[in-house]
Amino acid sequence: MWLAAGLPARAEPAAGSIDPELKHILKATASEADTFPDRFDAEVWLTDMSRRLEQKVPDTRCRIELLKHVHCEATRAGLVP
């Protein structure tokens, strides 16, 4: 299956396979993030991007902070994060 942007769709992992620390940080971050349309969108985007960046930025908190900044700056610049 392919997404509209031409990227292959990724299979979603089972609900229990998300690292508990990551899940906790995502929930806290999603509720305070002001550049996302809603909390659900924040959790989905942060979870997906966090998995993609995990090998390059292994520290969960640093990775989520970086992603928050990326999303904020992309939104400010009128880009799709």
For the chain, give the mean pLDDT: 78
Model pLDDT, residue 30: 64
Share of the chain above pLDDT 70, in %: 73
50 against 33, higher pLDDT: 50
Model pLDDT, residue 67: 93
**pTM to 2 decimals?**
0.63
Query: Which residue type is seen at 56?
Result: K
Closest CA to 24 of 58, 45, 47: 47
Residue 11 has pLDDT above 80, yes or no: no
Phi and psi torsions of 8, nearest 5° = -65, 140
Is 45 within 8 Å of 81 (Cβ atoms)? yes
Tokens of 17: 């396979």
Phi and psi torsions of 2, nearest 5° = -120, 145
